[in-house]
């Protein structure tokens, strides 16, 4: 990989990680992200989640000009099954590196340099309603009038949707620095001239949609704040998962968090760390104190009555959540416990095969 490509992929991973940890914006392996450079486009590969994209996997490199030229040829055509099949061949022919590009690659082709496709809960709560067009026009009247936001009636993902976006823009890239396509019964595609503009504009319009519904997704947004604080503390590019597991939350109502700290088995130590972190006040100070005491980052963080898990990506954070739940079951019996000894812990921390089970230890160590 040439240096210029490496920098783009690193930015694509950064962009994908930011949005990929937010349940209010994306769920499971949905959505995709892209960055363009001249006639090339780097985009999340099909079958990967945003959280998985990294410098080594999860992205595709395509010849973007091939895609734009194709859309210009089908802009006035009816999209039949034959044309859909043909579009898959065009996508395959445009690929120069990586796995199969996302089905939404065509929709990204004519947009700004940085693009993200998401399924925000708030937007979809609106767009699945029968009168969603009227509601969107009311909520975003100013943005629609200034051609920052476009409403797209439902189109099948792929060439049909890409053609609709292409025609909305008259076959030319958006003029504004930021723009968004609100997709009926689907989600949004936001595009901007810089990563910071893309993030801030997406957050702004999503907050506006949430306000119109009177819903509060602050518990999910907190993951971004925790991730930022971890970065300031020296643990950059970590992902944070907010836990909505009913069993975990029920256990924590019954237990004193400070009394379930010690690891009782190898997996508790390797996944959840030497100690849990409880922050009822200043998160920054709590992280600094934890880092000073344990020389690493906390895998499990409790903030008031909320639980968050920290890892190299969201999929691995979910593994920690799974082990933490078993950890709570072990503490559920009232009898006195026998935690791992200091010698046991020291040996486990130096035992490579055991560390290899927990892939993110190596993933993170290699990034320092």
Phi/psi class of residue 38: alpha, beta or left (left: φ > 0; alpha: ψ in -120 to 50)?
A: left
Query: Is residue 157 a contact partner of residue 83, using CB atoms and an 8 Å limit?
Result: no
Cβ atoms of 42 and 76 closer than 8 Å = no
% of the chain at pLDDT higher than 90: 74
C-alpha dist (Å) from residue 199 to 6, 17, 46, 202, 315 = 21, 12, 23, 5, 22
Same domain (yes/no): 212, 264: no
Q: Name the pairing type of β-strands 114-118 and 95-98.
A: unpaired
Q: How far apart are CA 14 and CA 209, in angstroms?
A: 25
> Which residue range(s) make up the domain with 247?
219-365
Per-residue model confidence (pLDDT) at position 215: 97
Work out how many domains the chain is built from and give that number. Answer: 2
Of 216, 251, 282, the domain-final residue: 216
Question: Residues 20-65: pLDDT tens digits?
Answer: 999 999 998 889 999 999 999 999 999 889 988 988 889 999 999 9
Helices (H), the chain: 3-20, 64-74, 81-94, 105-108, 121-127, 132-139, 141-145, 159-168, 195-213, 218-232, 246-254, 266-272, 283-294, 314-332, 342-349, 352-357, 359-365
| Contact call for residues 241 and 317 (beta carbons, < 8 A) | yes
d(CA 234, CA 297): 9
pLDDT of residue 363: 46
pLDDT band at residue 340, thresholds of 50, 70 and 90?
confident
Find the mean pLDDT for residues 130-137.
96
Neighbours of 300 (CB within 10 A): 24
Nearest to 177 by CA among 197, 160, 151, 157: 197
Same domain, 325 and 350: yes
- pLDDT given at position 243: 96
The answer to whether residues 164 and 197 belong to one domain is yes
Round the average pLDDT of the chain to a whole number and report it.
91
pLDDT for 364 equals 43
Same domain as 162, residue 41 = yes
Q: Based on the domain organization, do 135 and 79 belong to the same domain?
A: yes
Q: What would the mean pLDDT of 157-174 be, rounded to a whole number?
A: 96
Q: Are residues 264 and 206 in the same domain?
A: no
How high is the pLDDT of residue 361?
A: 43
Inter-residue contact 239 to 153 (CB < 8 Å): no
Note the pLDDT tens digit of each residue in 71-97.
Answer: 999 999 999 999 999 999 999 999 999
Max CA separation in the chain (angstroms): 74
**3-class secondary structure, 367:** coil
- pTM attached to this predicted model: 0.88
Helices (H), 128-190: 132-139, 141-145, 159-168
CA 337 distance to own-chain centroid: 38
By the 10 Å C-beta count (0-12 exposed, 13-18 middle, 19+ buried), 169 is classed as: middle
State the average pLDDT over residues 182-206. 97
Point out the least confidently predicted range of 125-134, 219-228, 230-239, 358-367: 358-367
135 pLDDT above the threshold of 50: yes
Q: Please check whether residues 180 and 313 belong to one and the same domain.
A: no
* pLDDT over 70 (residue 355): no
Predicted confidence at residue 1, as pLDDT, reads 54
> 127 with 157, same domain?
yes
> Residues 326, 211: one domain?
no
Residues 209 and 226 in one domain: no
Residue at a domain's end among 200, 216, 232: 216
CA-derived radius of gyration, the chain: 23
User: CATH number of the domain that 158 lies in?
Assistant: 3.40.225.10
In this prediction, residue 351 has a pLDDT band, given cuts at 50, 70 and 90, of: low
The pLDDT assigned to 317 comes to 93
Contacts from 46-49 at CB under 8 Å and sequence distance 24+?
Answer: 46/99, 46/100, 46/101, 46/102, 46/103, 47/99, 47/100, 48/99, 49/20, 49/314, 49/315
253 band by pLDDT with thresholds 50, 70 and 90: confident
Q: How much is the pLDDT for 332?
A: 85
Q: Which of 187, 216, 245 is the last residue of a domain?
A: 216
What pLDDT, on the 0 to 100 scale, is given for residue 366? 41
The Cα 218–Cα 207 span in angstroms is 10
pLDDT confidence tier of residue 288, bands split at 50, 70 and 90: very high
Q: Is residue 61 located within the same domain as residue 20?
A: yes
Note the residue count of the chain: 368
Quote the CA–CA distance of 43 and 238 in Å, as a whole number: 21
185 pLDDT band, cuts 50/70/90, is very high
């Amino acid at each position: 990989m040439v240096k210029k490509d490496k920098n783009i992929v690193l930015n694509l991973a950064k962009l994908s990680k930011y949005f990929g940890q937010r349940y209010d914006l994306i769920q499971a392996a949905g959505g995709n992200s892209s960055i363009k450079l001249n006639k090339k486009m780097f985009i999340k590969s099909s079958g990967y989640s945003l959280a998985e994209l990294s410098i080594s996997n999860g992205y595709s490199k395509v010849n973007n000009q091939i895609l734009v030229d194709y859309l210009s040829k089908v802009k006035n055509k009816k999209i039949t099954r034959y044309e859909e099949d043909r579009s898959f061949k065009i996508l395959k022919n445009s690929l120069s590196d990586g796995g199969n590009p996302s089905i939404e690659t065509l929709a990204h082709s004519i947009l700004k340099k940085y693009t993200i496709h998401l399924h925000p809960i708030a937007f979809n709560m609106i767009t699945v309603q029968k009168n969603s067009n009227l509601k969107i026009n009311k909520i975003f009247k100013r943005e629609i009038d200034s051609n920052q936001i476009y409403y797209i009636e439902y189109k099948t993902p792929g060439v049909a949707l890409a053609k609709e976006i292409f025609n909305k823009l008259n076959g030319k890239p958006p003029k504004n620095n930021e723009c968004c396509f609100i997709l009926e019964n689907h989600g949004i595609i936001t595009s901007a001239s810089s990563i910071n503009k893309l993030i801030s504009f997406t957050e702004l319009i999503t907050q506006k949609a949430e306000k119109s519904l009177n819903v509060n997704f602050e518990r999910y947004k907190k993951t971004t704040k925790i991730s930022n604080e971890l970065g300031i503390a020296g643990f950059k590019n970590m992902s944070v998962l907010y836990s909505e597991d009913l069993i975990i939350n029920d256990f924590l109502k019954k237990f004193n968090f400070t009394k379930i700290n010690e690891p009782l088995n190898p997996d508790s130590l390797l996944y959840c760390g030497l100690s849990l972190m409880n922050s009822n006040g200043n998160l920054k100070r709590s992280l600094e104190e934890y880092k000073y005491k344990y020389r690493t980052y906390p895998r499990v963080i409790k903030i008031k009555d909320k639980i968050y898990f920290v890892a190299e990506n969201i999929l691995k954070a979910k593994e920690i959540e799974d082990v933490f739940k078993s950890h709570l079951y072990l503490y559920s019996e009232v009898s006195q416990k026998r935690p791992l000894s200091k010698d046991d812990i020291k040996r486990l921390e130096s035992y490579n095969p055991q560390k290899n089970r927990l892939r993110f230890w190596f993933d993170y160590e290699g990034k320092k």
